[in-house]
């Protein structure tokens, strides 16, 4: 290839053809840590718990108002046990801004309804209401676990976990046998499995002491729940119980280049940020890591990224230096660390191949998200992209630009616009995912590591 040709054309290379032998080892080692995080951080609450454990191990302490904050101080603030913010105080004052990475730890799932239990034809069931964007047909006839919290009448919070331990039973939603699915298989995919059909089988044995009454199977299941957790049926009213796939993260592909697992969106970026903030030395600018909740349903609510919880935390930090919050925000920079779709050669028709992120091409920047003409997107500026482009080049971060699918094919959103609305320069960057939002998503190990490296590079930037 002539030098001029080389200079003028933009060409991308598979990441494995670029990285060094040593870095290949770093990729694999990093992903071992990620897999074990994914297998523990199964819900937003469990992700916060596990992140605090890892952070405390690395010297982070719970933030308290008025505590002394000096360069190198590592603190975290939990938002009602469902979201988490961590920071390492930098050498520069906060009016020069902070470097933020914001991911989310909630994932598409099924939630138990507030009155979930019923019995029909001597089978007991739990009714569910799905959370986030799912294809309902993917959730039937697979092993499921139940995790969450039940607040009892006296205010005690009881943690529930069914299915995580290999000796536990799993919960399953039934599907029709093909033999009798003549009508079902003709329905459009969106209608084949109704939302109200996502009912988990809870039990099938009638209570043996209660021979006369109705709902004897449900009664027997309630007895089991009461024995194990001390809960009664009314306690479901004040419960958050989440149903997730019982599918541990595993290497995928004969070359083990990928990881299959539930909830890569967005724990793959959340772990990258968490590991990055744990691994950095005292940065020039204060580093902030956000693990948000409620992204999958619009970042609403007290634990979502639209909540003032973030302002409260950063303004508490600013107070310690007599800095105004808005001065800090206008000089801050945020990577909205979230996944995007990976180009899937089995379904090429939904993507513009030239612009879609690809597996093994590194962390994917998304200048904009949204749908129908970038609607609902913060659309990062050329300057913002330019800044990261230089930073990544100088620090050996393998990256690509990615657009989620073809124009007018669909779209999506992240927390980016809520960060940008705060007068913070923001851009999306994260791992490309195959089968995104399914019970068993796939990511490439190289991309996971490069997302970590990208965030670490931002944190270490002056």
Span 189-248, contacts to Mn ion by CB under 5 A: none
Size of the site for Mn ion (CB under 5 A): 3
Tell me which residue of 156, 155, 153 sits closest to 235, measured CA to CA. Answer: 153
Report the DSSP pairing between strands 363-366 and 98-104: unpaired
Rounded to a whole number of angstroms, the minimum distance from the CB of residue 353 to Mn ion is: 22
Per CB under 5 A, 265 contacts Mn ion: yes
Which of these ranges, 78-86, 93-101, 198-206, 263-271, lies near Mn ion under the rule CB under 5 A?
263-271
Q: Tally DSSP H helices, then E strands, for the chain.
A: 11, 20
Q: Rounded to the nearest 10 degrees, how much is the dihedral formed by the CA atoms of 298, 80, 46, 263?
A: 10
Rounded to a whole number of angstroms, the minimum distance from the CB of residue 103 to Mn ion is: 8
Which of these ranges, 46-54, 207-215, 262-270, 454-462, lies near Mn ion under the rule CB under 5 A?
262-270
Q: CA angle 368-303-432, nearest 5°?
A: 35
| Kind plus residue range of the DSSP H or E element containing 59 | none
- Shorter beta-carbon distance to Mn ion: residue 341 or 461: 341
Per CB under 5 A, 441 contacts Mn ion: no
Which of these ranges, 201-209, 225-233, 265-273, 309-317, lies near Mn ion under the rule CB under 5 A?
265-273
Per CB under 5 A, 428 contacts Mn ion: no
Rounded to a whole number of angstroms, the minimum distance from the CB of residue 54 to Mn ion is: 21
Site string for Mn ion, 319-348 (x = CB under 5 A): -------------------x----------
Span 266-305, contacts to Mn ion by CB under 5 A: 266
- Shorter beta-carbon distance to Mn ion: residue 265 or 425: 265
- Shorter beta-carbon distance to Mn ion: residue 340 or 461: 340
* Helix 445-460 / helix 382-394 crossing angle, nearest 10 deg: 100
Q: Rounded to the nearest 10 degrees, how much is the dihedral formed by the CA atoms of 422, 432, 145, 156?
A: -20
Count the Cβ atoms, other than its own, within 10 Å of residue 46: 19
Span 44-83, contacts to Mn ion by CB under 5 A: none
The Cα 247–Cα 233 span in angstroms is 28
- Shorter beta-carbon distance to Mn ion: residue 266 or 425: 266
The Cα 258–Cα 249 span in angstroms is 10
- Shorter beta-carbon distance to Mn ion: residue 266 or 273: 266
Counting every residue, how long is the chain?
A: 462
Q: Is the Cβ–Cβ distance between 459 and 102 less than 8 Å?
A: no
- Shorter beta-carbon distance to Mn ion: residue 195 or 298: 298
Interaction site with Mn ion (CB under 5 A): 265-266, 338
């Amino acid at each position: 290839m002539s030098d001029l040709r080389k200079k003028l054309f933009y060409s991308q290379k598979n990441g494995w053809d670029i990285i060094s032998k040593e870095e290949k080892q770093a990729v694999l080692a990093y992903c071992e840590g990620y897999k074990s995080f994914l297998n523990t951080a199964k819900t937003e609450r469990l992700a916060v718990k596990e992140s605090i454990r890892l952070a405390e191990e690395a010297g982070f302490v719970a933030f308290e108002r008025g505590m002394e904050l000096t360069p190198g101080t590592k603190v975290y603030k939990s938002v009602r046990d469902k979201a988490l913010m961590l920071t390492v105080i930098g050498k520069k004052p906060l009016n020069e801004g902070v470097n933020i990475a914001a991911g989310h730890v909630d994932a598409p799932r099924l939630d138990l309804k507030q009155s979930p239990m019923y019995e029909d034809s001597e089978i007991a069931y739990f009714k569910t209401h799905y959370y986030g964007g799912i294809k309902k047909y993917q959730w039937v006839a697979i092993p499921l676990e139940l995790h969450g919290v039940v607040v009892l009448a006296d205010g005690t919070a009881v943690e529930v976990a069914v299915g995580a331990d290999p000796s536990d039973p799993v919960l399953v939603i039934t599907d029709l046998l093909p033999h009798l699915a003549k009508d079902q298989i003709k329905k459009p995919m969106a209608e084949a499995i109704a939302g109200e059909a996502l009912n988990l089988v809870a039990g099938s044995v009638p209570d043996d002491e209660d021979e006369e009454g109705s709902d004897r199977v449900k009664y027997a299941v309630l007895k089991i729940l009461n024995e194990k957790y001390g809960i009664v049926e009314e306690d479901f009213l004040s419960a958050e119980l989440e149903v997730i796939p019982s599918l541990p993260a595993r290497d995928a592909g004969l070359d083990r280049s990928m990881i299959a697992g539930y909830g890569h969106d967005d724990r793959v970026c959340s772990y990258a940020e968490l590991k990055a903030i744990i691994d950095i030395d005292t940065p020039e600018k204060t580093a902030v890591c956000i693990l948000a909740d409620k992204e999958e349903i619009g970042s609403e609510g007290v634990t979502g990224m639209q909540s003032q919880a973030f302002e409260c935390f950063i303004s508490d930090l600013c107070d310690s230096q007599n800095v105004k919050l808005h001065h800090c925000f206008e000089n801050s920079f945020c990577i909205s660390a979230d996944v995007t779709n990976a180009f899937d050669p089995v379904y090429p028709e939904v993507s513009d191949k030239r612009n879609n992120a690809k597996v093994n091409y590194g962390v994917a920047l998304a200048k904009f998200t949204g749908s129908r003409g970038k609607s609902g997107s913060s659309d990062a500026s050329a300057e913002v992209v330019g800044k990261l482009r230089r930073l990544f080049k100088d620090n050996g971060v393998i990256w690509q630009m990615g657009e989620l699918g073809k124009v007018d094919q669909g779209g999506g959103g992240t927390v980016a616009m809520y960060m940008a609305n705060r007068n913070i320069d923001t851009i999306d960057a994260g791992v490309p995912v195959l089968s995104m939002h399914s019970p068993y998503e796939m990511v490439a190990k190289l991309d996971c590591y490069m997302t970590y490296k990208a965030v670490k590079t931002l944190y270490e930037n002056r």
